[in-house]
């Protein structure tokens, strides 16, 4: 359909596509859903890996470091959308199909539980591979130091702050997925995804699946990193849970209520 001089789906058509895609995602066979979830966790981890390389360069100014880090992190969602994978944060949009009665509560929760668990396996599994590879020894060990500092800072943040950063993060992530569905080509999807994803990363918002890579990698590095690295005491296994619980809750509200819920009322109610 020709819209405003370029080939794209209109917002109302996107809403219809989100529902149809949501039904298909909710009814994927369990093994396929699980494997695609593992891939998505690994893909987001690759984006986080790319981000850390940028952050480990102290010669960059604050704004340049945040902007460039956000741009390279976009690799993760591009891989999910273009290559195909099941990502918990993007799948919060399934709430639209649920609100319209197209899928049951059981199907919705099944997808979220299976996909989020598989995302953790993929992200933490990538963290293990990265640790074994010695990748974090790059730049004289600065990459390892940066991972530990980022992970410790995430674990030391107050729960309320993590929750609201999770809300803001997934508004932008789900808007990126929403806009990507408007496009018909890989270039369209690239243009739709990069600005909102780079914005949430540059702003320091919290993405639960990225944290499933960064915190486990930080924990693995803690035992081998230089003990002089600050904040090592702020990074322990229980901190993984205290970070993920409010971030996941915030991601859920941001994506399912403030994006899927709002657009459901506008276009599908």
- Residue 186 has a CB neighbour count (10 Å cut-off) of 12
* Nearest Cα residue to 212 out of 123, 114, 118: 123
Six token digits for residue 41: 């966790």
Q: How far is CA 135 from the centre of its chain?
A: 22
What is the model's pLDDT at position 66? Answer: 96
- Residue 226 has a CB neighbour count (10 Å cut-off) of 11
Residue 58 contacts by C-beta under 8 Å, 6 or more apart in sequence?
142
CB 42 within 8 A of CB 120: no
Give the Cα separation of 45 and 235 in Å (integer).
Answer: 19
Give the Cα separation of 236 and 106 in Å (integer).
Answer: 34
CB 108 within 8 A of CB 80: no
Give the pLDDT of the chain (269 residues) as one tens digit per residue. Answer: 444 445 778 999 999 999 999 999 999 999 999 999 999 999 999 999 999 999 999 999 999 999 999 999 999 999 999 999 999 999 999 999 999 999 999 999 999 999 999 999 999 999 999 999 999 999 999 999 999 999 999 999 999 999 999 999 999 999 999 999 999 899 999 999 999 999 999 999 999 999 999 999 999 998 665 555 555 556 778 889 999 999 999 999 999 999 999 999 999 88
Six token digits for residue 232: 């090592």
- Residue 83 has a CB neighbour count (10 Å cut-off) of 10
């319209």: which residue's tokens?
A: 100
What is the model's pLDDT at position 230? Answer: 54
Give the Cα separation of 70 and 198 in Å (integer).
Answer: 4
Six token digits for residue 209: 């699946």
Give the Cα separation of 69 and 51 in Å (integer).
Answer: 5
Q: Where are the alpha helices (DSSP H) in 8-141?
A: 11-26, 30-55, 62-73, 75-78, 94-99, 105-133
What is the model's pLDDT at position 234? Answer: 65
What is the model's pLDDT at position 269? Answer: 81
CB 22 within 8 A of CB 97: yes
In the chain the domains, ranked by start, together with CATH numbers, are 2-268 (1.20.1080.10)
* Nearest Cα residue to 245 out of 69, 98, 120: 120
Give the Cα separation of 193 and 43 in Å (integer).
Answer: 15
What is the model's pLDDT at position 231? Answer: 52
CB 232 within 8 A of CB 152: yes
CB 209 within 8 A of CB 166: no
What is the model's pLDDT at position 9? Answer: 86
Beta bridge partners of 6: 3
Q: How far is CA 153 from the centre of its chain?
A: 18
Give the Cα separation of 40 and 85 in Å (integer).
Answer: 5
């Amino acid at each position: 359909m020709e819209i405003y001089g370029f080939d794209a789906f209109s917002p109302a058509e996107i809403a219809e596509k989100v529902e149809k895609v949501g039904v298909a995602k909710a009814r994927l066979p369990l093994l396929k859903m699980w494997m695609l979830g593992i891939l998505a966790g690994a893909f987001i981890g690759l984006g986080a890996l790319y981000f850390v390389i940028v952050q480990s360069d102290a010669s960059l100014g604050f704004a340049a470091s945040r902007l460039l880090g956000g741009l390279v992190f976009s690799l993760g969602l591009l891989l999910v959308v273009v290559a195909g994978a099941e990502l918990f944060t993007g799948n919060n949009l399934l709430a639209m199909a649920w609100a319209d009665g197209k899928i049951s509560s059981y199907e919705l929760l099944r997808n979220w539980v299976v996909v989020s668990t598989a995302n953790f396996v993929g992200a933490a599994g990538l963290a293990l591979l990265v640790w074994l590879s010695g990748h974090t020894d790059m730049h004289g060990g600065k990459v390892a130091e940066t991972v530990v500092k980022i992970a410790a800072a995430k674990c030391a943040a107050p729960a309320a702050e993590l929750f609201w950063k999770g809300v803001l993060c997934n508004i932008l992530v789900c808007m990126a997925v929403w806009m990507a569905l408007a496009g018909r080509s890989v270039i369209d999807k690239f243009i739709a995804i990069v600005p909102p994803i780079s914005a949430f990363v540059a702003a320091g918002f919290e993405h639960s699946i990225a944290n499933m890579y960064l915190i486990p990698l930080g924990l693995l590095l803690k035992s081998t990193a230089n003990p002089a690295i600050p904040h090592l005491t702020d990074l322990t296994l229980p901190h993984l849970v205290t970070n993920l619980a409010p971030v996941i809750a915030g991601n859920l509200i941001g994506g399912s209520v403030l994006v899927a819920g709002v657009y459901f009322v506008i276009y599908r109610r």
